[in-house]
């Protein structure tokens, strides 16, 4: 079987091309691996610390419950001793009564007792009941184990982060017969947590028939039903872009048509320039006054303060803002955020259409983070909060706006 040979230069060129296409260098990858290793070690240390704290608290709680058990056992022992003493005294009283009646000649052959003695014996036998001592014989009290873990799960120990590791404790509990009496951190929430769900009203999920609004809950019994497939068939035939641009999904645009939103070519050109040039940090686009389904280029600038000046009560616009993300190795990467602003003087019907178009603008330029501006003074804060929330585990050291 013959093998095909390739030149070493070809293989090295493939590796070189691969390295050129990557956004991370070897040094950055090693730095990230080191950070991951340090984070892993911190997590392990935290788990060990929380586990030690949990064990100490369990031991302390067990000591408290043991002392309570000893006190209850001592009380029960004293109570039983008193009962035995009272029983012994009654027997002595009967014995004395028998000896006295045997010396009396007029007493009949059948043995009798005085009414007072009988009353004492009846009171003793009816009121002095002895409880089942089986639990005390086993040196445990009813629901002792349940009390221990109920206190633990209800966080009576204070703030405690239970580690994710599965800590098994071989203490039986009557509520865990299906788990062989083994309580774990994974099964713990199911002991004390009980979710109550209100049953859904099916009338809320019915779809409108023949472009008519759905009936209220009071008339739900007389409303006509139709299948989900039949109701969604008009949307299935349209293109994805058309379905995204439809304002009916937001519940505000029943009167708008499903016309595709169009963009001016200059917006794309400005967006490409912004990605290449550090002198441009934002671009804005506004709706054409004659065609509300046409977005045209409005402005670009270097400072975000210039963008804030454009957000006046008379205007409604979409913007793309460039924000610098500084990594732990001092490498700066650009993040792009979609910003939508609707002025206070915009009509209510128009607000619904603009809100419905946010997803279309995001999909058109491949944006994943969007901010709907309501207060102009908090635009920077809202953008940074959205970026932090969307970063997940790969959060940079800090974000900075271009000035």
Angle at which helices 115-127 and 26-102 cross, to 10°: 170
Q: What is the pLDDT of residues 180-231, one digit of tens each?
A: 444 343 333 333 333 333 444 444 344 444 444 444 444 444 444 444 344 4
Pairwise CA distance, residues 335 & 403, whole Å: 15
What is the Cβ-side half-sphere exposure of residue 174, based on CA atoms within 13 angstroms? Answer: 6
Cβ–Cβ < 8 Å for 270, 300: yes
Pairwise CA distance, residues 142 & 55, whole Å: 23
Task: Extract the tokens encoding 308.
Answer: 């804030």
Cβ–Cβ < 8 Å for 363, 243: no
pLDDT in the model for residue 129: 66
H or E stretch covering 300: strand 294-301
Pairwise CA distance, residues 238 & 257, whole Å: 12
Q: From the CB of residue 300, how many other CB atoms can be counted at a distance below 10 Å?
A: 22
Task: Extract the tokens encoding 142.
Answer: 């009813």
Q: Which residues, listed in sequence order, are joined to residue 322 by a DSSP beta bridge? A: 336
Q: 262-401 maps to which CATH number?
A: 3.40.20.10
pLDDT in the model for residue 84: 84
Low-confidence ranges of the chain (pLDDT < 70): 1-3, 21-25, 98, 100-113, 128-259
Find the radius of gyration of the CA atoms of the chain.
40
Pairwise CA distance, residues 45 & 54, whole Å: 14
Pairwise CA distance, residues 64 & 103, whole Å: 59
Residue 247 neighbours by CB under 8 Å, 6+ apart: 253, 256, 352, 353, 355, 356, 357
Pairwise CA distance, residues 258 & 235, whole Å: 10
Residue 93 neighbours by CB under 8 Å, 6+ apart: 117, 120
pLDDT in the model for residue 111: 56
H or E stretch covering 320: strand 316-326
Q: From the CB of residue 358, how many other CB atoms can be counted at a distance below 10 Å?
A: 19
Q: Which residues, listed in sequence order, are joined to residue 329 by a DSSP beta bridge? A: none
Q: What is the pLDDT of residues 83-129, one digit of tens each?
A: 888 888 888 887 777 676 665 544 444 456 677 777 777 777 777 66
pLDDT in the model for residue 337: 94
At 223 the three-state DSSP class reads coil
Task: Extract the tokens encoding 19.
Answer: 């390295």
At 296 the three-state DSSP class reads strand
Domain range summary for the chain, segments of one domain joined by +: 70-100+113-192, 262-401
């Amino acid at each position: 079987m013959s093998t095909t040979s390739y030149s070493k230069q070809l293989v090295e060129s493939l590796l070189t091309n691969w390295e050129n296409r990557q956004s991370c260098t070897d040094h950055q990858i090693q730095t990230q691996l080191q950070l991951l290793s340090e984070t892993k070690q911190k997590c392990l240390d935290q788990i060990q610390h929380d586990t030690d704290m949990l064990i100490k608290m369990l031991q302390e709680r067990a000591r408290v419950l043991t002392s309570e058990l000893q006190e209850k056992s001592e009380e029960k022992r004293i109570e039983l001793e008193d009962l035995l003493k009272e029983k012994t005294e009654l027997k002595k009283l009967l014995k004395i009564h028998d000896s006295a009646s045997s010396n009396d000649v007029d007493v009949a052959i059948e043995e009798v007792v005085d009414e007072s003695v009988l009353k004492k014996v009846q009171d003793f036998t009816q009121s002095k009941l002895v409880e089942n001592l089986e639990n005390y014989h086993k040196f445990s009290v009813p629901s002792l184990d349940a009390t221990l873990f109920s206190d633990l799960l209800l966080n009576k120990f204070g703030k405690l982060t239970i580690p994710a590791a599965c800590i098994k404790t071989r203490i039986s509990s009557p509520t865990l017969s299906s788990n062989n009496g083994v309580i774990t951190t994974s099964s713990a929430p199911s002991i004390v947590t009980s979710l109550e769900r209100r049953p859904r009203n099916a009338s809320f999920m019915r779809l409108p028939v023949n472009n008519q609004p759905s009936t209220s809950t009071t008339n739900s019994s007389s409303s006509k039903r139709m299948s989900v497939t039949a109701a969604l068939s008009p949307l299935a035939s349209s293109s994805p872009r058309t379905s995204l641009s439809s304002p009916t999904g937001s519940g505000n645009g029943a009167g708008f048509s499903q016309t595709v939103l169009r963009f001016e070519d200059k917006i794309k050109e400005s967006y490409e320039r912004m990605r290449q040039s550090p002198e441009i940090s934002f671009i804005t686009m506004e709706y054409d006054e004659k065609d509300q389904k046409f977005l045209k280029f409005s402005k670009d600038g270097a400072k975000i303060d210039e963008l804030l000046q454009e957000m006046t009560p008379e205007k409604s616009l979409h913007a793309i803002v460039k924000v610098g993300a500084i990594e732990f190795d001092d490498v700066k990467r650009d993040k792009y955020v979609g910003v939508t602003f609707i002025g206070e003087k915009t009509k209510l019907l128009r607000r619904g259409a603009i809100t419905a178009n946010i997803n279309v603008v995001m999909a058109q330029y491949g944006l994943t983070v969007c901010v709907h501006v309501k207060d102009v003074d908090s635009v920077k804060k809202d953008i940074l909060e959205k970026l932090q929330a969307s970063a997940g585990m790969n959060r940079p050291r800090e974000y900075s706006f271009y000035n």
